Every structure is written in C-alpha cells, then in structure tokens.
Amino acid sequence: MKVSVIISNYNYARYLPKTIDSVLAQTYSNIEIIIVDDGSKDDSRDVITKLQAKAPNQIKTIFQPNQGQGGAFNAGFQAASGDIIAFLDADDIWKPEKVQRIVEIFNTSDVVGVMHHLDIIDADDKYMNNASTQGPKLSEDLAKVVLNTGNAWCFPPTSGLSYRREALEKVFPIDPIKWRIWADGCIIYCTAFLGKIKTLHENLGSYRIHGANNHIGQGVATKEQEAKAQAGIEQTNRYINEFLERINYPTRVDLSRNLQYRRTKYYQQGKWNSREVWAISRLIMGWSFYSWQERVYYLTRFLFKSGKFLARPAVNTESTTI
C-alpha cells in the first residue's frame, strides 16, 4: 500500500527540513512526498531543491503562484499516486511510527479515513506544557457527529489526516477560492459522509505554534475576527450541503444545531430573546462534547451573560434615513 504525503508550504523554509526529515525517517517505507510550494517569498525554493536532492526518487516538487491551501491541496492530489493520501503541514512533524500505524488501520478495516491527534510544540521544538490537540472521543460515524452538531469543529488539524484515494476522488478538486485557508475542514466534513472515519486517540506527531500560523486556540477574538469566523462557518455549511446534494445524500446539515455559531450570533445581537435563550440552553445541556459539569458551568455562564441584556435599555435599530 503506497502512501502519498502532501505538504503545502508557504514561507516555512525554516521548518521544512525537520518536517521532511520526519517523513523520511518513517518506519514504513512505501512513501512518496509531494511538496507544493504556494508562491513562497522566502528561500523555500532553495530549501526544497536541496531536500529533494536527498531523496530524488521519493520527493516530488511543485512550484506554483500563490493560490492558498485549497489550491495547493488540489495540485498535490493531482500529482499523488498513492493508495492512501496523508496531509502534513510544512511546519509540523510526525513521529517515526505514524505512517505504519495508519496503514495498519487501513489494512485491517473498511474505514475511508484515519485521523489522529498531535502534541503541541513551539518554534524551537519544545513541548508546550504537555499540551496536545486531543478533543472529544469521536465515533466512526462522523457524519452523525457533523449532523448533530451543525458542523461544529472538534477535529484534529491537517497533519493528523489521511484518507483512501477513492474517497478523496469524490471531494477533489476543491474550490480554491472558498478554501484558500482551512481547506482541511473541507476535507474532514466532506469525507465524513463517504464512509467510516477512525479517530486514533494517539499523538502521532507534533503541531507547531509559532505566531505566524493560523492555529487552534488563538485566544480571545476581536469583533472583526468573530465576524469572520461566523462567516466562515456559514460558508462551510453551504459548501457541505452543496456537496451532500452532489452525492445525493438524503440529509442536510442544520446550522441552528451549531452551539458555537448560534450562541455567538445571539451575543452579537446584544438583546434579550427568550426563545433563543431557551433554544441555546437546550443545546448546551445536550451538547455531547461537554461533560455534565461543563454543561452546568456553560449554562450558568450563558444565562448570567444573557441576563445582562435585560438590564440594558432597548436600542432603536430602525433606520433614521428616508
């Protein structure tokens, strides 16, 4: 079983050598590496050329004008010849047994995808307080998870994703404009409806946080970032449902089930709405990603914050223009 590793790079020359070395050091040998440089402005081209010289029969290189992550993934997938396609960010690294482990799963089950979590490291390869991307335990019926949560995010990042070629052939090419960033989300959500997805609760690599990347848990969002995130969730939902229509899937994803989206939208409106308070309270108490203690905590916090809206004077939002 051949494994193609797609690496999308943009200005990560500093990290690329360790990333590529972590693939070359895998205990599983039937691997090809496809590096797609997405119009980098640093010395990535020179670094990639030198890396390719280390394993010319194993490393393919593609240099293209900047198109974003979606465009880079399209180019990488088109060049890939493996039975299994694995994705690796240009600033992350894998543990030596990572590919062997996922191949074992693909060889012994009928899953169409395997996901795993990663340790979190900084720019200097230091582990960050034993942190990892570990999240809630997910069943192999990922479609049910997506439908029940209105596409809420609860998945590993790019470097923890791998899929059978035949599944990705139904997903690619992806829209490079809509998925200029966060294209891994497109892949996760679409493949969820193509078969079973196995999530390994093993950290088989390291996810790097260094300040120049779009990483998980970036702290308190500004209003502009919040609005952008909400728009991204809406776009994702439209894209998923368009995909489901294309593959004749009988159900559609309902964004009203997305707790993060609905709660944020309510906060943005800034006024009391008893119907929304009741609906969001029910979502919180039924949220499968929360423990019972977390449900009580987040419900209390939500009600306390919502209660403040009652104390505010009504704001006239009608236009004053004629």
| Of the candidates 95, 88, 103, 101, the residue with the CA atom closest to the CA atom of residue 6 | 88
Q: Where are the beta strands (DSSP E) in the chain?
A: 3-9, 31-38, 59-64, 84-89, 93-94, 113-121, 127-132, 161-164, 197-208
Note every long-range contact of 237-243, with CB atoms under 8 Å and residues 24 or more positions apart, other chains counting. Answer: 237/150, 237/151, 239/175, 239/178, 239/179, 239/186, 239/189, 240/146, 240/151, 240/189, 240/190, 243/171, 243/189, 243/190, 243/193
Contacts of residue 167, Cβ cutoff 8 Å, sequence gap at least 6: 112, 113, 191, 194, 195
Q: How large a percentage of the chain has pLDDT more than 90?
A: 79
CA distance 196 to 193: 8
Q: Enter the pTM of the model.
A: 0.90
| Of the candidates 238, 257, 139, the residue with the CA atom closest to the CA atom of residue 185 | 238
pLDDT of 68 > 50? The answer is: yes
Give the SS3 label for residue 104: helix
H-run or E-run covering 82: none
Q: What are the tens digits of pLDDT across the range 193-222? A: 999 999 998 999 999 998 765 555 555 678
Q: What are the tens digits of pLDDT across the range 84-130? A: 999 999 999 999 999 999 999 999 999 999 999 999 999 888 888 88
Mean pLDDT of 57-63: 97
In this predicted structure, what is the pLDDT of residue 311?
Answer: 77
